[in-house]
Chain A
Amino acid sequence: MNRLLATLGRFLREEEVPRWFGLTVVLIYLVGLGAVARFGIVQAKQESTEFFQQGHDYAVRLLAERIRSLDDDVPGDERWTRTCQRLLKDFATNVPTRSARVIGNRKFLASLDPADVGRAAGERKSAESRWDGLDVATLPPADGQPEMRWVRVSVPVRRGETHAEFAASESESTGEETPETAPASIDVEVVLPMAPVDGHSLAAYASMLSIALVVLGALFVAYRCLREQLRGVSRIANRLELHRDRIEDNLGLLRISDQLDGVTRTWNDLIDLTERLRSAVQRTEANEELCRVLQKSGGGGAIAEAVNALPDAFVYVAEETRFEFLNTAACRLFGWSPTDAKRMTLNDAASNGAGGKALELLRAAAQSEGGFEPRSEIVTVDDGLNRGTSSYRVSVIPVPGTRHQGSCVMIARDVSQQIRAEKAHEEFIAQVTHELRTPLTNIRAYTETLSSGMFEDPKVTAECYNVITKETRRLSRLVEDILSVSQLEVGTIDLKIDQVDLKSLLSEGVRDVRGIAEEKNIDVQLVLPAKLEPIRADRDKLAVVVINLLGNAIKYTPPNGNVVVGCQMAASSVMITVKDNGIGIDASELAKVFEKFQRGSNPEVQKESGTGIGLFTAREIARRHGGDIELISEKGKGSTFMVRLPHVESRASAMSTVS
Chain B
Amino acid sequence: MTRVLIADDDAHIVRVMMIWLTRFCYEVFTARNGQEGLDILRKQPIDLILSDMNMPVLDGVGLARAVREQLKLDIPIVVLSARCDQQNLVEELSKYRVQVFPKPFLPSQLMEEINRLIPSPAAEGAGA
Q: Is A434 an interface residue (CB 8 A)?
A: yes
Q: Is A19 an interface residue (CB 8 A)?
A: no
Q: Are A445 and B106 within 8 A (Cβ)?
A: yes
Q: What is the chain B residue whose CB lies nearest that of A463?
A: B15
Within 8 A of B (CB), among A530-586: none
Given A446-B16, A449-B20, A463-B15, residue A430 in contact with residue B83 (CB < 8 A): yes
Given A430-B83, A607-B56, residue A437 in contact with residue B19 (CB < 8 A): no
Which of B13, B17, B19, B82 interacts with A460 by CB under 8 Å?
B19
Contact with B along A420-454 (1 / 0, CB 8 A): 00000000001001100110111111101100101
Q: Are A454 and B10 within 8 A (Cβ)?
A: no
Q: Which residues of B contact A454 (CB under 8 A)?
A: 23
Q: Which residues of A contact B23 (CB under 8 A)?
A: 454-455
Q: How large is the interface on B (under 10, 10 to 19, 20 to 34, 35 or more residues)?
A: 20 to 34
Q: Are B19 and A442 within 8 A (Cβ)?
A: no
Q: What is the chain B residue whose CB lies nearest that of A607?
A: B56
Within 8 A of B (CB), among A394-440: 430, 433-434, 437-438, 440
- Give CA–CA (A471, B103) in the complex, Å: 15
Q: Are A442 and B56 within 8 A (Cβ)?
A: no
Contact with A along B72-108 (1 / 0, CB 8 A): 0000000000110000000000000000000111111
Q: Are A445 and B82 within 8 A (Cβ)?
A: no
- Give CA–CA (A446, B108) in the complex, Å: 11
Q: Which residues of B contact A607 (CB under 8 A)?
A: 56-57
Q: Are A442 and B16 within 8 A (Cβ)?
A: yes
Within 8 A of A (CB), among B15-33: 15-17, 19-20, 23
Interface residue count on the A side (C-beta < 8 Å): 22
- For residue A19, give the distance in angstroms from its CB to the closest CB of chain B: 82
- Give CA–CA (A445, B20) in the complex, Å: 10
Which of B13, B54, B56 interacts with A445 by CB under 8 Å?
B13
- Give CA–CA (A31, B108) in the complex, Å: 120
- Give CA–CA (A467, B57) in the complex, Å: 25
Q: Are B83 and A434 within 8 A (Cβ)?
A: yes
Q: Are B12 and A448 within 8 A (Cβ)?
A: no
Q: Are B13 and A441 within 8 A (Cβ)?
A: yes
Q: Which residues of A contact B15 (CB under 8 A)?
A: 463, 467
Which of B13, B20, B54, B57 interacts with A442 by CB under 8 Å?
B13
- Give CA–CA (A430, B54) in the complex, Å: 12
Q: Are A441 and B104 within 8 A (Cβ)?
A: yes
Q: Are A446 and B12 within 8 A (Cβ)?
A: yes
Q: Are B83 and A445 within 8 A (Cβ)?
A: no
Q: Which residues of A contact B17 (CB under 8 A)?
A: 445
Q: What would be 29 A-B contacts, judged by CB atoms less than 8 Å apart?
A: A430-B83, A433-B82, A434-B82, A434-B83, A437-B82, A438-B10, A438-B103, A441-B10, A441-B82, A441-B103, A442-B10, A442-B13, A444-B106, A445-B13, A445-B104, A445-B105, A445-B106, A446-B12, A448-B107, A448-B108, A449-B16, A452-B107, A455-B19, A455-B23, A460-B19, A467-B12, A467-B15, A467-B16, A471-B12
Q: Report, nearest first, the 6 A-B pairs whose CB atoms are least far apart.
A: A607-B56, A441-B104, A437-B82, A442-B12, A445-B16, A444-B104
